Each structure stands twice: as structure tokens, then as C-alpha cells.
Chains A and B, each alone.
Chain A
Amino acid sequence: MITITVNGQSHPVDVEPDTPLLWVLRDTLGMTGTKYGCGIAQCGACTVMIDGQATRSCQTPVDSVADASIVTIEAIERDDIGRKVVEAWVSLQVPQCGYCQSGQVMAATALLKETPKPTDEDIVDAMTNLCRCGTYNAIAAAVRQASA
């Protein structure tokens, strides 16, 4: 049994230690806001914050985060910066299909925690999640708005 702390709550989970955190969140804990897109750390749909860092949970074995603080999209509005990010996302109407957006919001929140006033270059470097609907420009505008 491994115990993980997600959004401030601890959850004992009965899974193999190498199970990716993504599947523990989605299938074991039923927290489906974190998405599966590629499973190989390419797309970022599965991004969560681990000790404040944007992390791709599909390539994070659950036993490696047993002592960490995991924050998922479900708790994003409990975070001051997360709330600002969500408001910017809503006011600029960022999502289209929306499937990538949990991961985008998590990545943006982690960026702004680290770098409250990111340059355009910082945004390109940090916001590497894929969006098949092509919302990249709207995302960048929303990150700028949330940082203002």
C-alpha cells in the first residue's frame, strides 16, 4: 500500500509501485480532470503540480511521489494563482474542445508561481503542452493577463 497526498488529502492506494500517477488519479481515485493524451511525456495533457512544479503524471511512477504534495486541476481554484489563471482562461475564452486545457492551466499556474511576470520567451519555454485545436495564441494571451 502506497499513500499519496493529493490536494491536501492523503489517499492509500493499492497499486503496483511503478503505476503512473496519472492512472492512480484517474482510475483509482476517480479524479478525471487530469487527462491522458500520449502516455510518453509528449503532450502535457496529464500535467499536475508536484511540490509546485509542473509535472507530466503519465511518466511519474506513483511510488516516487509518496512524500510529495500533489495538486491537480480539481483543486486549482483553491490556489490564488490558479484562480487568476482560470479567470483569465474564462475571460479570454481559451478552450475549444478543452481536452488539453486542464494540463495547460496547471502548466500556466506552475509558471506563474515560479515567474510571476513571464516574458514571451518564458511562455514559449514553459508552455510546451500540445493543443490540437490550436489555442496557443489564446493561451499565451491568458498567461499574460493572469500575470498582470
Chain B
Amino acid sequence: MNHLFPNTTQPHTPAIANLSRRGFLGASLGVGAGALVLGVLLPTGFARGQAEGMGAVAPKPGTRVPAFLEINADGTVKLLSPFIEGGQGINTTLAQIVGEELDVDPARFVVECAPPGPDYAIVNGLRLTGGSFSTRSSYAVMRRLGATAREMLIRAAAARLKVQDGELATEDGRVIHASSGRSLAYADLAADALTLKPREDVPLRDPATFRYIRKPVARLDVRDKSTGKAVYAIDQKVDGMLYAAVRHATHFGTEPEGFGNESAVKAMPGVHAVHTLPGAVAVTADSWYRARKAVEALEVRWSKPAPSGLETIAADFSSDGMLAALKSATGKGLSAETEGDTAAAFAKAAKIIGADYDAPYLAHAQLEPPSSIARFNSKGDLEVWLPNQMPELFQAMAAKTAGLQPDRVTIHSPLLGGFFGRHFMYMTANPFPQAILLAKATGRPVKVLWSREEEFLNDALRPLSHSRFRAALDAQGHPTAIEVRTVGEGPIGRWFGAVFKSPLDSSAVEGIIEKPYAIANRGMEFVKVAHPVNIAFWRSVGHSMNDFFYEGFLDEIAEAGGKDPFALRMDLLKDKPRHKALLQAVADLSGGWRRGPYDAPDGNGKGGKRARGVAMASPFGSETATIAEVSIDGGEARVHNLWIAIDPGSIVNPAIVKAQVESAAALGLSSALFEQVVYQDGVRQSSNYDSYPILRRDHMPAVHVRIVESGSPMGGVGEPGLPGVPPAVANAIAAFGNQRIRSLPISKTRLSGV
């Protein structure tokens, strides 16, 4: 469970008083946090009046119909979405929810990301696309919005037709007066309807009559995305713009101090100017390719990094050294979860086991490299096109960079060519400040595009982390206590620490705490050791590694106690009907649990051996159970099947849920098998997909998804498919009896089969 927003059904309690801490948004680039930025993040109504330009009187988010809906003469409905579409299907999902209550076929919706504004702060008083929050945070609000708008249209029709509201019905975009056979299109009523006062008590549709919600409605953007018509940030162009290519310091934190060949570079074809930026150099030119050739030809003198230490990325910084520092950290831990008496349980134990787990830094490697356009108009107002997951925050930071008030900054938030957490505010990892500085310097609109190499050099990373486990077993091999010490740092603490204030960083320990298993005595602690590396949210955040740690160790407990890992989990879940049912569901989906190794089902006995591993996770308000089927070939793991049962409580679009679970599973497998960003001598060793391998078709397993709707509160969908995959694969490898993977990626280890 991610605690960024502890409870989506309760009004958020603002916890902001002291805003001075440096860490909130970082201070690199000299555009660090101010009250202005925090004003943007504040729940609506709280100090909103002090947030300049945001409007002193804010409506309750998600209630003002005209802020969300435009009904067009051609029968289409434009929906301004609080969220940003990046492949997760949120545009279609919202069209289904609103269309269901408004009574308009979702296929006739055109969904666009709304501009900044208090109406859209519907994730607990904030606006963001992330944390698998979009559908669950907006489901009730968007249903009510659609129903409220429909009722206004009915009242407008009643006035027009001079009948009672109760005599009217609606049918796919029309108000119908059955007894007289008259009807009016929504488009003809929209202007009148919007002048009416919305009613707050409009009844919602009976779910038994849903036509769109819970149906596999086709996604709205699929044709454009199949024909090259979808427009991403990288595809934007404005009149008179210059293209900029940048080169960042290879050694993060160092600064350009001079050039050896500036005049030669300036003379290259199409070059407009050579620039220095914080931590980078840039060339502006009349095409991006020319700009890039020129910036790569620049001879740059860089300042020297600190010789050593972990305060900055020092000359001798390495990911191995960082891991060693985490492992040897002696600091006292903060309690993340305590239950029972672990000391007593360990004292009485028949057997004690322990193990260390770790996972590496990861890059997002979304396929669209980041870009931004900045343009000042003649009055000095700024317009920015940029990939982002939080428009208001990016607006505020763009304003800060430009030295303007936010109301003079227009933000365009295009489709994202993949994000997985990439497009939050990571300061030096966002290109928009460079675009603004270069537009100022050149007096022209500027488009900054990072080459793939610059992206690998400068992306903010999923933090490397380490956890040390200990378990006590009784004479029957049953676990009586578990202890974990997790060392590292999470992105919530880094980027929202000053807002949320909790000393315990939920994003560092989620997946280790709040597991459903009945182990009576538990002591989980967290030791914060800050990374000098820019760290990020990465699909499923802490769960992306912590469930691997915990579920791997739980298999070790089973092994030490002489128990089957599936049977042990069932036993530990005997008082958890929801989890038990889900674990049974995934076993059924896979044809019944069997661990193996067994002969591959190829019919001739020559297919080698396969084995299976199981894992559970409780990410983002949903529950998952995962089984992986693996063989070992040439020292490498090959995953043939993934069976995933997911219980998000209830759903909106089963096809989108399945697609998201498969997508998350692919990313989870990619991270488990291949991915790591390695630092050596202070420099990242990956610069493109050849040195940062990601999952390709030849390693894509069959993915089988079963959705279980338990009726529990709605959970997230975009991320939860991921966390169970790495441990299920590692546990399957362990079933061959030769090795236990405790450190990712698996490709570091040469495996042996039976």
C-alpha cells in the first residue's frame, strides 16, 4: 500500500506548515521550491487563496460541469480529463464512467488533458496521474458529474418542451418525451442546461443496468496510434522554433567551465548558438540533427567531482559501493511495522534463518525520449509543451524558472509515449527548464529533445535497495517471527517528504510491511540512507523490489521448514478469505499448483524441465497472486507462462485491466531478468538499449490474467501486475534446487538446471 495519499475516501488533511526544507523539490537549477509551488500542491480550499493566480474561490474539485464537458453539435462530447493518457487507457475509462451516467456512448467522446485548474484536483485534493490512482480516485466523482449533467439537460428539455422533468427520459445523447414522440439532442440543450444550478442529489444509475462500465469498451485512441496520427510531445512544432540538442555532464553534478572549439562549432551548418546550462551544454540550430551533431562536436571542459563520499556523485562512486554502504549501514532503524514479541520468538526458535536481498537502480526506458517546447509571446507570457504527470506543479515550476507568476504560464500536456513514473518533477531530469532558459537566451521558441543517450545519462532512477531478513521457525517448521531491516531511500521521502512529513517513507517499505500472512511476531524497520543519485517513482515504486525480497524470503522459510511454498502461503492465509480465494484462483488458472521440476509439455520428453514459483502482492489497493513457469537453458532463465490473478475490488473495463496487467508483468519480467543501471567511477554504464537491455519479443511469455472482483474498495490497476512477477520467477528458479536468486537482475547469475 502506497501511503502518499493514505485514504482516498477521506478528505485529505493538509500537513503543510513548514516549507523551508531543501529537499521538497530539490534546489538544483536554482528554481527550488517556494510557497508558490506548495500552493499548487495544496488541497483545494486550503490556502488556495494565497496561491497566486489559482483563483481565490475554488469550487469543490470534480463538480463544475462546464470545466469538464462540452457537448458538440455533431453529437460528440469533449471531456477535459484531470489525467494524462500514456497507454493506461484512462481516457477511455473516463469516457465509460461519464458516458454511462450522462447516457452517451463512450465511442463519441473526445478526451483531452485539462489545463491547470482547481477543478481537476480530484486525487484527494491533488492532481496527478500516478500511484494507480486515476480510476479509483475519480470513479465516484465522474459518475456524479455525468449524472448531474444529464439531469441538467433533462431540466433544460423540460423547460423547452413545457413538460415535467419526470416525463422525460434520455437515450444516447438525446432527451426523449415518449408520450408526444418529441426529442431533443443534448447539443441543442447544452447552452440552456449549463445556466442551470446543478442539483447535488441526483440519483446514480443502478449498476445492474450498466451498458458501458464493466464492459470491454474499445479504446478511443487505438486507431490513431496504429496509423501514426497520435501526437506526442516529441511531435510538436511551433512557428519559428529553434531545435536544441544538449549534452549533460557525464559525471552528474559537474559543470561546464569552457569550450575548446566554440567558433568551429558555431560555423557548423545550421547552428544558431552555443549555450551553457546548469550541468549541461546545448546547441541551438535549425534542425535537431544539426544541433546534435554540433553539440557532440563541442569540446567541453567540465569541473571536477568530489574525490569521494556519498554526499554527491563522487569520482569514485559506484553502484557496488552504494550497495556496500547500504549493507553496512549501522544507523538505528525506524519501526515500519511491529507486532508481537520477536525477541521472545527468536529465543524459543527451533531454527533461525537469515538472508540479504538487493535490487539495482533502474531506468524508465520509456520509448519516447523526453522533449519540451518553450515559447514566450510578445507580452512575455510563457507557453510550454511538456510531458508531465502533474500539470499544476509543472506550471508552477515553469513559472519559477521563467520568473513569472503561474497565471502567465500556459501548459500543454500531450500524450505520453510511455511513462511508468518518468514524468514527475525530478528537476535535473526534466528538460523543460532547459527549453525555457534557451527560449529566453535566443528570443525564439525552442524545442529541447534529449537523445536516447542523454536520457539514459540523466533519467531519475528507481533506487537501489537492500533488505536483511531473519525468520524464526518452530519445531514443526512453521514461521513464528520475521524481522526485516530495509536500508535506502524512497521517492516519496525525496520528493514529497516536506509535504507529508512522515519520517517513515512508505515508498521505501511498501511490499515489506502489511503483508497478509499470519506470522505472529513481526519487526520491520527502515534505515534511511540517502542516495546521491536522482531517484524516481518507477512502475509500482517500492513494490517493484520489496515484494521480490519478501516473497523470495518467504519461499526460503518454506524450504527451511520443509514445506511446499504454495501450501505454506495457503496456511498463513487461512484467516484471509480474500487472499486465499485469489491464491486459489491463480492456481486454478494455471491448471492446479505444482512446483516441479517436471517435463516440459512438448509431448516427446525432449523439452527439458520446467518449474513454477508463486508470489503474492498487495499493491495500490489491489491484490495479486502470480505463478511463473520457468525453464533453464544455457545458464539463462526462460519464462514460458505467467498466470496472474488480480483483485482490484471492482473494475471499469476488463480489457484495459487485462492489458495493463500484461504490460506491468512484461515490465516486471524485464526488470527481473535484465535491467540494471550500473555506476562505475561516478558514471552510468548504460547509454542506450544496447547497454541497457529490456525485454524483447523472444523473452515474452504467455500471460494469462484472471480478474477477481471481490467487491472490496476499488484498487489500482496500472502497477499491481508487476510486483509478483520477479519473485514468482525467482521462486521458480529455486524450485530447480540449485540456486536462490537474492540479487537482481537474474542475468547476473549463471543458472544451472536439474
Contact = CB atoms under 8 A, between A and B. Distances in A.
Contacts of B663: 96, 133-135
Given A99-B232, A124-B698, A42 B688 contact: yes
A38 B109 CA distance: 34
A123 B223 CA distance: 22
A94 B222 contact: yes
Given A34-B228, A90-B223, A94-B222, A99 B662 contact: no
B247 to A, nearest CB: 14
Interface string B359-376: 000000111110000000
Given A23-B288, A27-B289, A99-B417, A42 B689 contact: yes
B452 A73 contact: no
List the 4 shortest-distance A-B pairs measured between CB atoms, nearest first: A33-B228, A134-B666, A98-B225, A99-B417
A8 to B, nearest CB: 16
A39 to B, nearest CB: 6
17 contacts: A32-B228, A33-B227, A34-B228, A35-B367, A40-B688, A77-B227, A95-B221, A95-B222, A95-B226, A98-B221, A99-B366, A101-B225, A105-B228, A128-B696, A128-B697, A134-B700, A137-B700
A4 interface: no
Contacts of B219: 93
A16 B73 CA distance: 49
A16 B243 CA distance: 16
Contacts of B417: 35, 97-99
A40 B221 CA distance: 29
Contacts of A130: 367, 689, 694, 696
Contact of A98 (B230, B290, B655, B695): B230
Contact of A93 (B86, B231, B655): B655
B418 A36 contact: no
Contact of A95 (B225, B366, B453, B702): B225
Interface in B410-426: 415-420
B287 A27 contact: yes
Contact of A16 (B223, B269, B695, B703): B269
A142 to B, nearest CB: 9
Contacts of A105: 226-228
Given A33-B228, A86-B226, A96-B663, A132 B365 contact: yes
A28 interface: yes
Contact of B227 (A34, A76, A97): A76
B235 interface: yes
Contacts of A19: 289
A99 B289 contact: no
Contact of A38 (B218, B237, B689): B689
B690 interface: yes
A131 B420 CA distance: 13
Q: Which residue, A23, A35, A124, A134, has most C-beta atoms of chain B within 10 A?
A: A134
B697 A72 contact: no
B229 interface: yes
Given A101-B226, A133-B87, A35 B288 contact: no
A27 B690 contact: no
Interface string B280-292: 0000000111100
Given A23-B288, A72-B228, A138-B662, 12 more contacts: A15-B287, A20-B289, A23-B289, A26-B235, A30-B237, A98-B225, A99-B368, A99-B417, A99-B418, A100-B367, A101-B225, A130-B367
A134 B662 contact: yes
Nearest to B223: A90
Given A37-B369, A38-B452, A32 B690 contact: no
B718 to A, nearest CB: 10
Interface string A85-126: 010011001111111111001000000000000000001100
Contacts of B452: 37-40
Interface string A65-92: 0000000111011000000001001100
B703 A137 contact: yes
A136 B666 contact: yes
Contacts of B231: 32
Interface residues of A, number: 55
Interface of B: 86-89, 218-219, 221-232, 234-235, 237, 243, 269, 287-290, 365-369, 415-420, 449, 451-453, 655, 659, 662-667, 670, 688-690, 694-698, 700, 702-703
Contacts of B670: 134
B269 A137 contact: no
B234 A73 contact: no
A54 B415 CA distance: 26
B739 to A, nearest CB: 26
Contacts of B365: 132
Contacts of A32: 228, 231, 234-235, 237
Contacts of A77: 227
A39 B667 contact: no
Contacts of B223: 86, 90
B479 to A, nearest CB: 34
Interface in A27-56: 27-28, 30, 32-40, 42-43, 45
B243 A27 contact: yes
Q: Which residue, B219, B419, B451, B659, has most C-beta atoms of chain A within 10 A?
A: B659
Contact of B662 (A34, A36, A97, A137): A137
A6 interface: no
Contact of A23 (B226, B287, B662, B689): B287
B367 A96 contact: no
Given A136-B700, A137-B700, A95 B368 contact: no
B288 A97 contact: no
B367 A132 contact: yes
A45 B367 CA distance: 8
A147 to B, nearest CB: 16
Q: Which residue, A27, A34, A77, A86, has most C-beta atoms of chain B within 10 A?
A: A27
A74 B227 CA distance: 7
Given A127-B697, A136-B666, A136-B697, A97 B289 contact: no
B450 to A, nearest CB: 11
B659 A97 contact: no
Nearest to B659: A96
A132 B229 contact: no
A98 B453 CA distance: 22
B234 A36 contact: yes
A134 B289 contact: no
A110 to B, nearest CB: 15
Contacts of A140: 697
A76 B697 contact: no
Contacts of A101: 225-226
